[in-house]
Amino acid sequence: MAFERFELGDKSHIVVRCNGTLDVRGGKRAEVVVENGGQGTARRTESGLEVDAPGNCSLRVPEGSSVEVREALGDCRVRDLEGPLTGGSVNGTLTVRDVSRLELDTVIGDARVRTVTGPVQIGAVHGSLSLRDIAGDIAIGEVYGDMLARDLRGSIVVEDAQGTLALHADLAAGTESRFAVGGDAVFRLPAGASVRFSLPADAQLRLDRGLEAIEEGSIRIVTVGDGAASVHVAEATRIVIKQRSQLDDEASFTFSFAIGDQISEHLADLSAELESQFATLEADLANTISDRVRRQVERRLHNARRQVDAAQRHVEQEVERARYTAGATAYAAPGSAEAGSGPARDAATEEERLMILNMLEKGQITVQEAETLLAALEGK
């Protein structure tokens, strides 16, 4: 591997174009380390550095840096930046964690964003979108897949979510949020929430016990608590508002993919961490370790990555199966063939699957133990 090092200071601006997978991580060192296969270019600019990589690219930057991704044709992983992440388009999956601000035009794949201390703005996400622990306001143009959002503290605007929207958050007093949803919209609120919902009159409405809708012309108003936060839903097929910790079957299909997204995110982080550790080792010891040792490290890293990727694919397949079956059960009419004894057994099986995945998410069991349990459940 070929590395280039640049002493640019703690708050440099990095501009990058990458035709493959892009991996950016902030660190304590006041230098930029570029690994792009030795074929790209990295040149100093007045404000920092501009990188053009024809293939995969890995950047280690000072944590105070700002990063502008003009284009990434593969996946893009960015984490640990005290500065903002901005840019144009990501053609693969976007994974962002621990940045100060996020502003992108387009993500062609899925987008997973976690722990942003400022605002998040994305023009379009062509896959699914997962947002978690966002302190600032959120503005999303289009989401072609499902959208899961939790632990949000600012206002939220989603102009067009074509799949299912699942929001799990204690919306702060004074915030105003707006949604247009092509599928179902499920709002899961904590016990002490204070939200005023303005909902379309033609949408199917399912409310938790103790909540009621008041007709006001072409809209319906549902007030939770004192209504200190405001939520306006312009469009949705069905709206579910829950205010309790235990989900029932009606809403479980919507949240069945949440655990899988989180596990997938953890596994993706692990894979990125393995790559990061190897890159750091290679950069620091390139002149001291032998080729034989380097090849051994490469083989072990490759094997570890294959195991993580295989586990991630298996978990995603199981969660997708659970989501599909739970969705079919949720929509089955009472007394219909779908609600008979056979699907009841299937629903119990899916519940057991979700329990196993939840144990894995909490670290109570390992990935290998989870796979063993899932295989045993499938055999049953």
The mean pLDDT value for 331-359 works out to: 53
Highest mean pLDDT among 99-103, 283-287, 365-369, 376-380: 99-103
The residue whose two tokens read 């670290």 is 363
Is the CA virtual torsion 312, 313, 316, 318 positive or negative? negative
374: amino acid identity, one letter: L
**Ranges of each domain in the chain:** 1-100, 150-246, 249-379
Has residue 334 got a pLDDT over 50?
no
Dihedral angle computed from the Cα positions of residues 352, 375, 314 and 112, in that order, rounded to the nearest 10 degrees: 20
For position 280, what pLDDT does the model report?
54
Q: What is the pLDDT of residues 350-374, one digit of tens each?
A: 667 777 777 776 677 777 777 777 7
168: amino acid identity, one letter: H
Min mean pLDDT across 13-17, 209-213, 237-241 is at: 209-213
Instruction: Pick 107 or 269 by higher pLDDT.
Output: 107
Closest alpha carbon to 126 in 93, 79, 165, 164? 93
Q: What is the pLDDT of residues 1-15, one digit of tens each?
A: 467 888 877 788 999
> 3-state class of 286 per DSSP?
coil
Give CA angle at 182 (176, 185), nearest 5°.
Answer: 55
DSSP state of 338: G
Give CA angle at 272 (99, 165), nearest 5°.
Answer: 60
Closest alpha carbon to 232 in 199, 193, 183, 189? 199
Tokens, residue 178: 């707006």
pTM to 2 decimal places? 0.66
pLDDT classification of 229: cutoffs 50, 70, 90: very high
242 DSSP β-pair partners = 188
The mean pLDDT value for 143-147 works out to: 94
Tokens, residue 378: 């499938």
230: amino acid identity, one letter: S
The mean pLDDT value for 193-197 works out to: 94
The mean pLDDT value for 271-287 works out to: 53
Q: Cβ(223)–Cβ(197) under 8 Å? A: yes
Closest alpha carbon to 231 in 184, 182, 173? 173
Cβ atoms within 10 Å of 101's Cβ, excluding its own: 17
Q: Cβ(64)–Cβ(45) under 8 Å? A: no
For position 373, what pLDDT does the model report?
76
169 φ, ψ (degrees, to nearest 5): -160, 155
39 φ, ψ (degrees, to nearest 5): -110, -20
78: amino acid identity, one letter: V
118: amino acid identity, one letter: G
Instruction: Pick 326 or 69 by higher pLDDT.
Output: 69
| First-residue to last-residue Cα distance in the chain | 48
Mean per-residue pLDDT of the chain: 79
